[in-house]
Structure 1
Amino acid sequence: MDDRLLKKQRDYFFQGETRDVAFRIKQLKKLKKAVEVRETELMDALRMDLNKSKEEAFLTELGPLYQEIGHIIKHLPKWAKEKKVETPVSQIGSESYIYHEPHGVALVIAPWNYPLQLALAPVVGSIAGGNCTVIKPSELTPHTSKMIAALVSETFSEEYIAVVEGAVETSQALLAERFDYIFFTGSVAIGKVVMEAASKHLTPVTLELGGKSPAIVDKKAKVDLAARRIVWGKFLNAGQTCVAPDYVYVHEDVKDQFIKRLDYHIQDLFRSKLEKGEYPRIVSERHFDRLLSFLQDGDVVIGGQHERDMLVISPSVMTNVEWDQPIMQEEIFGPVLPVFSYSKLDEVMTVVRERPSPLALYVFTEDKKVEEKLVQGLPFGGGCVNDTVMHLATPHLPFGGKGESGMGAYHGYESFAAFTHRKSILKQSTSFDLPLRYKQGRLTMKLLRKLFQ
């Protein structure tokens, strides 16, 4: 990377223009308009990279982006205003405020699975926070990357927002620079690399990672509805979703019924798309081969068909999978769903607790006690009760992981908070000056003890 870009952005940031709230709102509107104008081209790029249909592209990429921008524009004036907070009696005469200060120059490194939305949604937060931004799109989705670069260069000056395209060496060069904030979405392994690089400058980070997110189907769940929603959440984007259910634990009393309903809903939701060649493809041959190898780790009871020329694997369900097999040692990130059965809920809770905290967890039950036991008793980033994936589609909920599944959160207010520093300011009176802090003695100590109660 040419370090002149970083200097150019830092110099522009210190001019102060990006701090103005009216300026930020104007830039958010410009971004939304630019995406709207290029909507057809962006959908075409997503089809070329991942074979996403227009409907799926809008549902998972463009729609959430529009919603996020609109929500932030509406609330930004209130969020950005300094907030007066209480001051203790020990500080009598003073006033306390919290200011949201932009970080400066932010780096956003985007993944390939939702290459538009996961590149631009963090930028929305960066703009709202008053920062300058460098965006590194994924090289694995080159058409979308090219479109993002064109959109940004035509809409914003390079000193404000810029796109740097390239492969691994480009990311390494960017991470060697001293940014003021880094926002990364991707795998756990690369997240560790990003964090290590950031530690050299003690640069704050948000890491949106992944993990093996479970779905748990209780015997009191509405089994057909649970199957439908799990099928949709799992096989959307060919399973290449960070919060997709990675595996299912279903109560043994309803397992057979559940698998039958999985089969029905897979056919209902995806058979036509597969026949028409409209089902999303696996991003690369390397990932395709990795997923095919997982099909050897148990019994394929639904699906298993694949087409190498198109990099397509049909939605597949597996049983008789063991935890020591490769499929259960890493995030699957594809259209392959292992199903396990259980007799006691504590068995499932033990399995989840013994492993790194997942990014998401999904509970299907009509029993409030079961719901509370799982939601309150298991560590995970976020999730749903009686649904999948939809918790990340609301700007009113923070989205982020825990432990190995990530750190920090964004969406809505949390995006603004992520891209700002909460600066504490105490404004002291000059009308009087209490002598207590200057003098030491027995009387002073008595007064201080009362003040600090």
Structure 2
Amino acid sequence: MSIPNSIPAAFDLQLAYQHQRRKTFGYAQRRDVLRRLSAEIRAREPQIIAALQADFGKPASETILSEILVVQQDIKHTLRHLRRWMRPRRVVPTLIGFGTSARVEYQARGQCLIIAPWNYPFNLAFGPLVSCIAAGNSAIVKPSEMTPATSALIGEIVAAVFPPELVTVIEGGIPESTELLALPFDHIFFTGSPAVGQIVMAAAAKTLASVTLELGGKSPTIIGPDADIKQAAKWVAFGKFSNGGQTCIAPDHLYVHETRRAEFITELGARIASAYADGPTSPHLARMVNAAHADRVWGLVQDARAKGAALDVDGMRAGDAIGPTVLGGITPDMDIDGAEIFGPVLPIMGYSDIDTVIAQITARPKPLALYIFAQDKALVRRVLDQTSSGGVGVNLTMAQYSHNNLPFGGVNNSGIGNAHGMYGFRAFSHERAVLRNRFSLIPLIFPPYTGRVRRLIGVVRRVLG
């Protein structure tokens, strides 16, 4: 079947096959198409690496770890558990349901729209698609126009694996996204900024589509007074500077206990020198996705420096590449204090009282991630109990994303809904309640409300409260 030549044609084709898909796209068919996707990704691995290198200089090893391997792990995990996820779940009867049997069935939502971002363009297009297909849906995938080589390759892979009535890729920019958002999809899965997330949610409201929004925010990191500083520096450097800092769950800013601040900066500087010896031209560091983004991030550095920030590690800039940069002496009047950085620039702030840190974290919108480095379990528990965030990493960064048995998602400003593994399957599924009558006693209290019926209702009230 030929690929539809317009957005309405692509949508209408999938709509026309929706009834047939509900009848025929069962466990075996979903399993087979996911296996084909895995094989196609494996065969095209050199092309994927080359595309991400072309789009923003992503190192091959990072592409393998954070783009290809993550998707393949999603597929493998899904294939291992899909039969169990799809199985209807029996629920325990309640007193009012005496004489009935109840279960929850997982039904495909229908036609889905997946809008992928530019920062992990391969992973964040195919990861949600794996969950979408596992749940039995069709999908239109809209990759980012800011990573054109990867977007084109996503289109090729999808066309090689899926018939267009099941999955279609629509390339383009804001006009194409706007046209897609005007269509009555059953579910929209969006990954991007909170500002654009509001636009997506407003568009979804017009057709009452359900949404999963994976957004971002300023994810804070706390270094406690008893933290293993060497371990913390390694994990912070990995989390902050991977993908050139263009990661929604990267540590955005650090709170370091004053008694360990100098030691931590020394250790972090040594780690940066070891991992990214050539600064902005390091072959182990991705560059900014484009000049505008590089200008924005570098502008945050220049504004902070002009307002008195200390340059603890000078990352420098070479074209669209910015080397790992560490700033101290951050104050609220600096732009970097309020903006999501989304680049390899790390502000460090000292603290002596954890209550002050907690107050600052809770005064901001809820972040997608929060990181704590400490051995004191009471301190960790205190931070967990008194803050809110999408997820938490204790003595590590970023790794919570790739744990398939954990939900991944934000809260309020940082997102709505969850993804990955069973949680991704459920995000793309309607949990349908099915209640069957066997020998229900409810008809005993049907009208007319005679004296006998009223007495029975009184008994029911006493029993059920």
User: Would the aligned equivalents of 1:300 and 1:317 in 2 still touch at CA under 8 Å?
Assistant: yes
Q: 1:18 to 1:394 in 2, by over 3 A?
A: farther
Q: Is 1:305 matched with 2:324? A: no
| 1:25-424 pair list within 5 angstroms | 25-271=31-277, 277-296=283-302, 297=304, 298-308=309-319, 311-424=320-433
Aligned equivalent of 2:434: 425
Give how far 1:84 is off. Answer: 1.3
For the residue of structure 2 that corresponds to 1:379, the secondary structure is coil
Q: 1:433 to 1:409 in 2, by over 3 A?
A: closer
In structure 2, C-alpha distance between the alignment counterparts of 1:318 and 1:451, rounded to whole Å:
65
In structure 1, C-alpha distance between the alignment counterparts of 2:203 and 2:442, rounded to whole Å:
47
Aligned equivalent of 2:458: 446
User: Mean Cα displacement is larger for which, 175-184 or 7-16?
Assistant: 7-16
User: Would the aligned equivalents of 2:279 and 2:316 in 1 still touch at CA under 8 Å?
Assistant: no
User: Would the aligned equivalents of 2:280 and 2:315 in 1 still touch at CA under 8 Å?
Assistant: no
Amino acid at match of 1:448: V
1:206-245 superposed Cα distances (whole Å, 9 cap, x missing partner): 0000000011001110111111110111000110000000
For the residue of structure 2 that corresponds to 1:403, the secondary structure is coil
Give how far 1:90 is off. Answer: 2.5
Aligned equivalent of 2:3: none
Give how far 1:135 is off. Answer: 0.1
1:308-347 superposed Cα distances (whole Å, 9 cap, x missing partner): 1xx1100000011112321122110000000000010001
- The runs of at least 4 aligned residues of structure 1 exceeding 6 Å deviation read 430-433
User: Would the aligned equivalents of 1:152 and 1:162 in 2 still touch at CA under 8 Å?
Assistant: yes
In structure 2, C-alpha distance between the alignment counterparts of 1:371 and 1:49, rounded to whole Å:
39
Aligned equivalent of 2:29: 23
For the residue of structure 2 that corresponds to 1:300, the secondary structure is strand
Q: 1:401 to 1:174 in 2, by over 3 A?
A: same
Give how far 1:443 is off. Answer: 2.2
User: Mean Cα displacement is larger for which, 204-213 or 88-97?
Assistant: 88-97
Give how far 1:26 is off. Answer: 1.0
Amino acid at match of 1:176: A
Amino acid at match of 1:258: F
Give how far 1:446 is off. Answer: 2.9
In structure 1, C-alpha distance between the alignment counterparts of 2:455 and 2:441, rounded to whole Å:
20
Q: 1:116 to 1:18 in 2, by over 3 A?
A: farther
Amino acid at match of 1:149: G
User: Mean Cα displacement is larger for which, 214-223 or 317-326?
Assistant: 317-326
Give how far 1:439 is off. Answer: 4.2
Amino acid at match of 2:128: P
Aligned equivalent of 1:13: 18
User: Mean Cα displacement is larger for which, 235-244 or 87-96?
Assistant: 87-96
Give how far 1:432 is off. Answer: 8.5
Structure 2 runs not aligned, ≥5 long? 1-5
User: Would the aligned equivalents of 2:279 and 2:324 in 1 still touch at CA under 8 Å?
Assistant: no
Amino acid at match of 1:41: Q
Give how far 1:276 is off. Answer: 5.2
Give how far 1:92 is off. Answer: 2.6
Q: What is the TM-score normalised by the length of structure 2?
A: 0.94
- Give the number of aligned pairs: 451
In structure 1, C-alpha distance between the alignment counterparts of 2:23 and 2:167, rounded to whole Å:
13
Amino acid at match of 1:5: A
In structure 2, C-alpha distance between the alignment counterparts of 1:96 and 1:286, rounded to whole Å:
56
User: Would the aligned equivalents of 2:222 and 2:255 in 1 still touch at CA under 8 Å?
Assistant: yes
User: Would the aligned equivalents of 2:280 and 2:287 in 1 still touch at CA under 8 Å?
Assistant: no
Give how far 1:13 is off. Answer: 1.9
In structure 2, C-alpha distance between the alignment counterparts of 1:206 and 1:133, rounded to whole Å:
14
1:358-405 superposed Cα distances (whole Å, 9 cap, x missing partner): 110000001011110011211111020001111111101000001101
Q: What is the TM-score normalised by the length of structure 1?
A: 0.97
For the residue of structure 1 that corresponds to 2:207, the secondary structure is coil
Q: 1:352 to 1:107 in 2, by over 3 A?
A: same
In structure 2, C-alpha distance between the alignment counterparts of 1:239 and 1:333, rounded to whole Å:
6
User: Would the aligned equivalents of 2:241 and 2:285 in 1 still touch at CA under 8 Å?
Assistant: no
In structure 2, C-alpha distance between the alignment counterparts of 1:225 and 1:278, rounded to whole Å:
20
Q: 1:329 to 1:377 in 2, by over 3 A?
A: same
User: Mean Cα displacement is larger for which, 269-278 or 75-84?
Assistant: 269-278
User: Would the aligned equivalents of 2:287 and 2:322 in 1 still touch at CA under 8 Å?
Assistant: yes
Give how far 1:444 is off. Answer: 2.2
Give how far 1:419 is off. Answer: 0.2
User: Mean Cα displacement is larger for which, 426-435 or 209-218?
Assistant: 426-435
Amino acid at match of 1:73: L
In structure 1, C-alpha distance between the alignment counterparts of 2:30 and 2:221, rounded to whole Å:
40
For the residue of structure 2 that corresponds to 1:90, the secondary structure is coil
